[in-house]
Structure 1
Amino acid sequence: MTCRSVRCEEHELRSLFLFEKLGSDQLALLCREGRVYWFDPGTVYREGDPAACLFVLFEGTVILSRRVGGQDVDVNRSSTRGVYAGAFQAYLGDQVPQVYNNSMRVTEPSRFFVLPADTFAEIMHEWFPMAVHLLEGLFFGTKNTQQAIGQRERLLALGSLTAGLTHELNNPAAAAARAASALRERVAGMRRGLGQIAADPHQRANLDTLTELHANAAETISQPPALSPLQAADHEDAVVDWLEEHDIADGWQLAPAFVQAGIGADWLDRIARALPTDMLGPAVRWLNCTVETELLMNEIEDSTSRVSALINAAKQYAQLDRAPQRRADVHELLDSTLVMLSQKIGPHIRVVKDYDRTLPRIPCYPGELNQVWTNLIDNAVSALDKAALDSSDADGTLTVRTARDGDRLLVEIRDTGPGIPPGIRDRVFDPFFTTKPVGEGTGLGLDISWRIVVNRHSGDLRVESVPGDTRFQVRLPLTPTDPDTPQETS
């Protein structure tokens, strides 16, 4: 970038809206301390460099850009006289890092009034002391408000997830408790039945046969058939008929457990052939107790496994036992978030996982990415809930897709909801902007997500939306952008 300075004219400074109310002495001071420069097309300053000057445009065209995911994204373009950029927060001094928060380039020869940052800070404090205090309050007040509401947003999400997790844990826990109570009764019945059989010398000789039949039944129970309700009812009728034919009372109470375990009339015939007729009734009842015992133990095992899986998902989601920054499998993070949000995903929503399992682990902050997935999936569910309310028979689809996109990993959260109107699509990532009813959203979910993806992970977050197809796309680097990023894969 080449530039040349020219003389500063007080009357020309007064023509700029920023200085039009200043007195002659003030304008003279500005001309003494500042300079007017012509800049040829190119970069004037870069984002992140020390903020050394305030630039005020006389003529030309400026473009401001921000660094997003390793690329410069234009955020503003102007040819308006008097627009300013650069060190305009110099009045805050060392309270904030004094670096340029964007990059500026000119597309044609452009002329600026350039004022050193320290001079601008001194002038602000000397000429506008009250305004400086007001601006400081506004700056830090807004920053603190964003942090407080951001924390509130996280607490609201945590409360919602906790309620859902509690509900999900309660179901298998209650099932295990019911099964354990019933198991106690069945074990008592087994003891009584076995005692009655052992007390009869004629029946005692068949205990080995009963034990073998029980072992065979246990093998059958381990692989029960998958029956529809209609098929199960037909099988129960057949078992009841068999029991009545063999003079075994209350067959309707015994049949469900036998059918659930995969034991039908053919299997019962094996019992009838193996045992004397007078022992058949007590033996069938004792075997029914053992079958129910096995079924109840299976139910307890399934329930406790479900509890364990939920706890593991919650631990994976919260990343409580992991380093804050590490290499992680994004699919594990997505799955744990879906489990945590399962209570919010109603029966009218079909979840589709379109994963590319060949994708490698990526360097990231897993706990923070889970917050991004939570925000995006929660918004998609809200959109689908709204669509369901608008049309009572509307079923929605939530699709979570991963794929490779060049040197990046793509995560796409897609819903078939009503879409985002074009007029507000550019504002969805703005702080405090929300389309949810008052009290249901803070408007910081997507802003926080954008900051996590872009600022923390050097990634990219964007949205595409038409009615029936809204896609939030997150692109994350496959390789570290920070040399301090951990390289381990465990």
Structure 2
Amino acid sequence: MNADPAPAADEAPASDQAPAADRLDPADLRDLFLFESLTGDQLAEISRLGRVRHWPPGADVYAEGDPAECFFVLLDGAIALTRRVRGADVEVTRSDQRGAYAGATQAYAGERMEQVYPNTMRALTDVALLALPAPEFAAVIRQWFPMAMHLLDGLFVAMRTTQTVVGERERLVALGSLTAGLTHELNNPAAAAVRATAVLRERLAGMRQKLAMVADGRLDGAQLHRLVELQETAVRRATTAPLRTPLQVTDAEDALADWLDAHGVPDGWELAATLVAGGFDDDALDEVAGAVLASDLTAAVRWLAYTVETELLLGEIDDAVRRISSLVGAAKQYSQLDRAPHQTVDVHELLDATLAMFTGKIPAEVRVVRDYDRTLPAVPAYPAELNQVWTNLIDNALGAMGPAGTLTVRTGTTGDQLSVEITDTGPGIPPEVRPRIFEPFFTTKPIGEGTGLGLDISYRIVVKKHGGDIRVDSAPGATSFRVLLPLTAG
């Protein structure tokens, strides 16, 4: 239960749990370390503003996220402060020290920052607290300590500016790293396409030459027509050739090489590999031998081998171009280029785009498992910013696992929310670190290495901007970050 704001000096107490709302005598105030250096007039002002309030064991004095209306000073009893960390209450401190304070501790900043309670205060025993209304207390603090206020203002502005700069730097570093991986991935299919094109040009020239040798007048129309039919059959074989094990391929190549040697075709071992890749066998070569004269067999076989290799090279080029197109599409999906900031999106497309951007950074021994619930509906979101969340979580997971492990990306529902869970098989988050992982600038990396975990940014994107939540479960061998997003616009 939340505490009501402290009543003004001429008002009766507002809390049903605190029937007595007494002022604290200035002499008693001076016994509190927080006020021991104040002047008599200042103590009298604090006495006028404050009220003594009482709470029973187990009662909440205030709750995290509620408007920060009072500054509280402990007079008697014991209290605990807790933070809500991804669905679980984590106790950050407890105290029975007279004079300990909490609540609206940043009231002095006024409208420059959101005035909400940063934690929950719970009474562990019967407690008595001095409650000071936040606006009035902030006003007298600014009046009494102008130099301190200037210093605090500078600190506040500097921290906010630093957070902005570091956040931008984190995004740039992440983007640069992903871009380097993307260019590497683009280079591979591009180089393959260039290589295949160069070889294709040579094979086309060779195919024209061999066709001229075969059809130099020694073949009648029927034979030439049959040879062209065999070429079409070779093309179909090349595009539909079955997958074989390495042992099966070796056996097939040996068999074709023996056939070619037996029929006087030179360098049969060289041609056999291409013909096997195109689905040829002894029966197919028998058809070729029956369509031409024995003197033309070598030219005919080489012509068909060029045909097969040409088709295979065209397939390589097609695969390379498709891969390039897929990577460019993933990059556009990731960056949300030329798209509205807020739209209804399929989270699976965002996850796949982010994973595609990470292809160059994922070690060969890391297995990526996509466990998607494809029945999930599209959700309203800011996709470019969600991609940044996926980037931070996946990057941290890869960093935790090192060169080997399993990265699992799972989607589903939790209650009335869409759930995206990213799990790694790393060593887990140490218990002493876990309460701090969502703090700004916090990192477990050595100084000078990396820019942080990016979880503060992720938390603000998911919770503040999308109205969702991030939860974490960690144990050695299984650390999961679960992002919850509303299924409908709030």
TM-score band by shorter chain is 0.7 to 0.9
Which of 403, 412, 420 is residue 412 of structure 2 equivalent to?
403
CA deviations over 1:425-484 (Å, ceiling 9, x no partner): 3222233332223332222412222222222233332332332x232231413423x53x
Identify if the C-alpha distance between structure 1 residues 439 and 228 changes in structure 2 by more than 3 Å, giving closer, same or farther.
Answer: farther
**Residue 56 of structure 1: how far off its partner (Å):** 2.5
Deviates more, 1:255-264 or 1:164-173: 255-264
Which of 234, 241, 254 is residue 237 of structure 1 equivalent to?
254
Q: 2:44 maps to what in 1?
A: 28
Amino acid of the structure 1 residue aligned with 2:480: F
- How far apart, in 2, do the equivalents of 1:257 and 1:460 lie? 56
Identify if the C-alpha distance between structure 1 residues 323 and 66 changes in structure 2 by more than 3 Å, giving closer, same or farther.
Answer: farther
Q: 2:478 maps to what in 1?
A: 470
- How far apart, in 1, do the equivalents of 2:82 and 2:26 lie? 31
**Residues 419-438 of structure 1: pairs in structure 2 closer than 5 A:** 419-438=428-447
Matched, 1:84 2:93: no
Matched, 1:254 2:267: no
Identity of aligned residues (%): 56
**Residues 380-395 of structure 1: pairs in structure 2 closer than 5 A:** 380-385=397-402, 395=404
Matched, 1:10 2:19: no
**Residue 161 of structure 1: how far off its partner (Å):** 0.6
**Residue 153 of structure 1: how far off its partner (Å):** 1.2
SS of 1:85's partner is strand
SS of 2:452's partner is coil
Q: 1:328 maps to what in 2?
A: 345
Which of 336, 340, 350 is residue 357 of structure 2 equivalent to?
340
Q: 1:121 maps to what in 2?
A: 138
Q: Residue 396 of structure 1 contacts residue 417 of structure 1 at CA under 8 Å; is this kept in 2?
A: yes
Deviates more, 1:155-164 or 1:120-129: 120-129
Matched, 1:375 2:395: no
- How far apart, in 1, do the equivalents of 2:347 and 2:156 lie? 36
Matched, 1:163 2:190: no
**Residue 303 of structure 1: how far off its partner (Å):** 0.7
- How far apart, in 1, do the equivalents of 2:120 and 2:341 lie? 31
- How far apart, in 2, do the equivalents of 1:97 and 1:409 lie? 28
**Residues 140-219 of structure 1: pairs in structure 2 closer than 5 A:** 140-200=157-217, 202-203=219-220, 205-219=222-236
Amino acid of the structure 2 residue aligned with 1:115: L
**Residue 73 of structure 1: how far off its partner (Å):** 7.6
Q: Residue 69 of structure 1 contacts residue 458 of structure 1 at CA under 8 Å; is this kept in 2?
A: no
**Residue 187 of structure 1: how far off its partner (Å):** 1.4
What are the ranges of 5 or more consecutive residues in structure 2 without an aligned counterpart? 1-14
What are the ranges of 5 or more consecutive residues in structure 1 without an aligned counterpart? 389-394, 484-490
Identify if the C-alpha distance between structure 1 residues 478 and 122 changes in structure 2 by more than 3 Å, giving closer, same or farther.
Answer: closer
Q: 1:135 maps to what in 2?
A: 152
Amino acid of the structure 1 residue aligned with 2:45: L
Amino acid of the structure 1 residue aligned with 2:23: R
Which of 74, 79, 82 is residue 57 of structure 1 equivalent to?
74
Identify if the C-alpha distance between structure 1 residues 138 and 349 changes in structure 2 by more than 3 Å, giving closer, same or farther.
Answer: same
**Residue 194 of structure 1: how far off its partner (Å):** 2.5
SS of 1:426's partner is helix
Deviates more, 1:333-342 or 1:351-360: 351-360
CA deviations over 1:142-182 (Å, ceiling 9, x no partner): 22212211111111111111111111111111000101111
Q: Residue 348 of structure 1 contacts residue 396 of structure 1 at CA under 8 Å; is this kept in 2?
A: yes
Q: Residue 351 of structure 1 contacts residue 397 of structure 1 at CA under 8 Å; is this kept in 2?
A: yes
- How far apart, in 2, do the equivalents of 1:172 and 1:129 lie? 65
Amino acid of the structure 1 residue aligned with 2:252: H
**Residue 304 of structure 1: how far off its partner (Å):** 0.5
Q: Residue 63 of structure 2 contacts residue 119 of structure 2 at CA under 8 Å; is this kept in 1?
A: yes
Amino acid of the structure 2 residue aligned with 1:474: R
**Residue 367 of structure 1: how far off its partner (Å):** 1.9
Deviates more, 1:37-46 or 1:84-93: 37-46
Q: Residue 203 of structure 1 contacts residue 279 of structure 1 at CA under 8 Å; is this kept in 2?
A: no
Q: Residue 198 of structure 1 contacts residue 204 of structure 1 at CA under 8 Å; is this kept in 2?
A: no
- How far apart, in 2, do the equivalents of 1:325 and 1:340 lie? 22
Q: Residue 462 of structure 2 contacts residue 485 of structure 2 at CA under 8 Å; is this kept in 1?
A: no
**Residue 305 of structure 1: how far off its partner (Å):** 0.7
- How far apart, in 1, do the equivalents of 2:334 and 2:247 lie? 40
- How far apart, in 1, do the equivalents of 2:338 and 2:451 lie? 30
Identify if the C-alpha distance between structure 1 residues 437 and 67 changes in structure 2 by more than 3 Å, giving closer, same or farther.
Answer: closer
SS of 1:417's partner is coil
**Residue 421 of structure 1: how far off its partner (Å):** 2.5
Q: TM-score, normalised by structure 2?
A: 0.87
Deviates more, 1:197-206 or 1:300-309: 197-206
Matched, 1:456 2:465: yes
**Residue 11 of structure 1: how far off its partner (Å):** 1.4
CA deviations over 1:272-296 (Å, ceiling 9, x no partner): 1223323322221211111111111
- How far apart, in 1, do the equivalents of 2:187 and 2:231 lie? 33
Q: Residue 86 of structure 2 contacts residue 470 of structure 2 at CA under 8 Å; is this kept in 1?
A: no
Q: 1:486 maps to what in 2?
A: none
How many residues matched? 473
Q: Residue 426 of structure 2 contacts residue 479 of structure 2 at CA under 8 Å; is this kept in 1?
A: no
Q: Residue 68 of structure 1 contacts residue 459 of structure 1 at CA under 8 Å; is this kept in 2?
A: no
- How far apart, in 1, do the equivalents of 2:192 and 2:325 lie? 14
- How far apart, in 2, do the equivalents of 1:477 and 1:281 lie? 67
Identify if the C-alpha distance between structure 1 residues 185 and 277 changes in structure 2 by more than 3 Å, giving closer, same or farther.
Answer: same
Deviates more, 1:429-438 or 1:291-300: 429-438
Matched, 1:228 2:245: yes
Identify if the C-alpha distance between structure 1 residues 211 and 180 changes in structure 2 by more than 3 Å, giving closer, same or farther.
Answer: same
- How far apart, in 1, do the equivalents of 2:195 and 2:158 lie? 54
SS of 2:436's partner is coil
Q: Residue 43 of structure 1 contacts residue 106 of structure 1 at CA under 8 Å; is this kept in 2?
A: yes
CA RMSD of aligned residues (A): 2.8
Identify if the C-alpha distance between structure 1 residues 465 and 7 changes in structure 2 by more than 3 Å, giving closer, same or farther.
Answer: closer
SS of 1:209's partner is helix
CA deviations over 1:209-239 (Å, ceiling 9, x no partner): 1221111111111112212333222222222
Which of 302, 307, 326 is residue 319 of structure 2 equivalent to?
302
- How far apart, in 1, do the equivalents of 2:141 and 2:32 lie? 17
